[in-house]
Chains A and B, each alone.
Chain A
Amino acid sequence: MSGGDENPFGELLQDYVLECLPLAEQVADTFVDLERRWRAGDPADELLGSLAGRLHTVKGNSAMMGLTPAQETAHALEDACGLLRRSSEQRTDPAAALLIAGGGLLVDLVRQASPELDPGPAARYVERVRQWMQSEGPPAADTQAERRRTDRRGGGGGGDKADSVVRVDFRRLDALLEVLGEGLIQHSALGEAYRGLARRSGACEELERLDQTILALEKTLKRLESTLMETRLLPIASVFGRFPRMLRDTAEAEGKRVRLLQSGGETPLDKAVLDRLSEPLLHLVTNAIVHGMEPPDVRRLAGKPEEGTIRLDAAPHAGRVVIRVADDGRGLDEKAIRKKAEALGQELRDDEVVPLRSLIFLPGLSTAERVSRLAGRGVGLDVVAGAIHALGGTIDVETEPGKGTAFTLSLPVTLAIIRSLIVEIDHERFALPMAHVAETVRAEPDAIREINHRGVAQWRGDLIHVADGGAVLGTAAVNRAPRRFYVVMAAGGKRQALLVDRLVGHQDIVVKGLDPALGRPDVVSGTTILGDGRVACILDSVRILEGGRRAG
């Protein structure tokens, strides 16, 4: 394949692979899960629902890069999932097999990320999906012909981009942050040990010195933290910079004239925030062009300049960063939104307090009258809102008919992110900080024995206590499910295993606090919003480990 040096898309293709490959892989994994759950008679609605946003992103980004086979495969999968979401009768083995085949194909296409790929496999797959859909239900709203209009862009660059890209610097920063986190935990353990010691032995000179040293250590760690956080900041222009080209292409495809004005590109944000921000921002800007902007002739008749304006402004505000995406288009059709929301089952009374902003972010709410290549396939602002929420941000909307629409995002400058293992216990999801996860083990039936009314198992030559997750969390009484795995947790020399039902995956989660109304639960240290918008509790592994020892 040709080298990437003279290829203007080279870097963008690398970004594309970095962003889309994990999504495609998640989609492919989810299909496998679906097959298993359907076989078990579980409709798995939430899994199907979780696919839409990822497929939409892969499709949109592939279209942006001119990678038609990947785009069409993602599109076909979207159609198939859409049909399956509407009708549960079709959730059968053949359907799952079709999805799984498509998932594998999509992963391959995204990984290769080459405009020169043989379009054959994708075309054959799209045809397979089309035939399946015709035999299973009403045809999709859009036609093959519309999709074929997708222009092919030139440019070389091929090969396996995922292998050639290593973002060494930032990973090292991440690793540093992790080490710092461990340091902070060890510091608090040291403080606790000091207080215990002081209670026992009373004041003495050595204790005094220890106290001073622990205080000094805290200051050092804090300084390390703030320096590290600063190192991770990048100007938001690194995300904004991707938009002009994409805006031009989208506007052209839509037959619209749009200019982009930007300000505040120098505003610093943690790279981890930036990385997760580009997708929702892209979505908002695409929406503004596709839905917000009127065609030039309509604008002329309305007495507006034919060329529409989209403003992208960022500014620091009260320790957070506020980003505004504003267009001077037609504004949101509040009536249509309320009607659509009602159709979705949202009962609305005139006197009920239902602000527009709590409707527009509803799942499945899209007022687009037609389907287009880049937007308007029922994946709406709920996906954007979900992504922003998962970042610890908020999103709000203002709109005025005929004048335009503005979305305001407020985001934290840095994230309290912890790498976590998401587990399921009695149908509820919990996050376990990876810092204290030593290993996950499949719970074979005879691996756990009972000694003195406590479950124990062999682990690395030792006997460790195996506690039931449901019993620790009090969920077993509500909705007991079978335990299939145990997670070995280790911290401060203590080890214990927790029985769980399912390992959902690893995820960087944003830590949120506990409302005072929740009291002070022993086993929960905070909450987080998962990718699907649901709230999950973060388990306090250290406290659980301590409880385990106390009980023994």
Chain B
Amino acid sequence: MPVEERQIKAPLLGFADAMEARAVANTAPVPGPELHLLTFVLEREEFGVPVTQVREVIRVSDITRVPQAPAHVRGVANLRGRILAVVELRSRLGLPPADLTPRSRVVVVEVRGRVLGLLVDAVRQVTKVPEASVVPAPEEVISADVDYLRGVARWQSRLIILLDLEKALLPTE
């Protein structure tokens, strides 16, 4: 149950470096099926989630803290009359907390019928990457506890960490 305790801390930040280190020559674009992603920034890394799971992106409005809520829940917000639980994705991924900035956004996602908000540092873009550009996450950052990384898309000198929202947000309780 206490999901936030069993987190990686440093490894995720070193992710890009680790990937760079094992860079291989086959970075040329490969035609074929593509992944349609919404990407956002946390700390220095770019993360991606399937656009099909994204309902909308909203600016951070008032988020009300809920006493005794799990540490990775920032609070609740009013999304057009619905109460939206907003997950502090930084804390969920074991990153240090950060203050809200004008670029902060809430990505509203729907995972297995549940609508949740993800607080991110900034939203970058909606992009397409070839499925073939996705490689498994390097072993350095994968431990038994961290199963919400689907892999890394290496595409046009970018590294996009693919999140498995189901595993990240709905851990088996």
Contact = CB atoms under 8 A, between A and B. Distances in A.
Given A515-B85, A517-B87, A529-B78, A358 B56 contact: yes
A385 B57 CA distance: 19
A527 B69 contact: no
A534 B73 CA distance: 17
Interface stretch (A35-43, A256-264, A472-480): A472-480
Contact of A518 (B57, B59, B62, B76): B76
Contacts of A519: 68-70, 73
A523 interface: yes
B27 interface: no
A394 B81 contact: yes
B121 to A, nearest CB: 14
Most buried by A among B64, B116, B127: B64
A354 interface: yes
A366 to B, nearest CB: 18
Contact of A535 (B77, B87, B125): B77
A537 B66 contact: yes
A515 B127 CA distance: 31
Given A358-B80, A521-B67, A352 B123 contact: yes
B78 A533 contact: yes
Interface string B109-152: 00000101000000101110000000000000000000000000
Contacts of A536: 64
Contacts of B30: none
Nearest to B126: A351
A498 to B, nearest CB: 13
B22 interface: no
A521 B75 CA distance: 12
B80 A352 contact: no
A361 interface: yes
Contact of B57 (A353, A361, A389, A512): A353
B85 A518 contact: yes
A518 B70 contact: yes
Interface in A461-520: 472-475, 478, 512-519
B123 A523 contact: no
A385 B103 CA distance: 25
A355 interface: yes
Contacts, number: 110
A213 B81 CA distance: 40
B58 interface: yes
Interface residues of B, number: 38
B65 interface: yes
Contact of B65 (A385, A478, A512): A478
B44 interface: no
B126 A389 contact: no
A343 B92 CA distance: 34
A394 B83 CA distance: 11
A473 B64 CA distance: 13
A454 interface: no
B168 to A, nearest CB: 12
Contacts of A82: none
Contacts of A394: 80-82
Contacts of A472: 67
Contacts of A513: 83
Contact of B64 (A349, A357, A428, A515): A428
B80 A527 contact: no
A524 B76 CA distance: 13
B76 A515 contact: yes
B67 A524 contact: yes
Given A393-B81, A522-B68, A524-B67, A351 B76 contact: no
B95 interface: no
A354 B85 contact: no
A273 B139 CA distance: 57
21 contacts: A351-B127, A353-B55, A353-B56, A353-B57, A354-B57, A358-B58, A396-B80, A478-B65, A516-B114, A517-B87, A518-B66, A518-B73, A519-B70, A523-B67, A523-B68, A524-B68, A527-B76, A534-B62, A535-B77, A537-B66, A537-B67
Interface of A: 345-347, 349, 351-355, 357-358, 361, 385, 388-389, 392-396, 428, 472-475, 478, 512-519, 521-524, 527, 529, 533-537
Given A347-B103, A352-B125, 12 more contacts: A353-B57, A361-B80, A396-B80, A475-B65, A478-B65, A515-B83, A517-B116, A518-B66, A518-B73, A521-B68, A529-B83, A533-B61
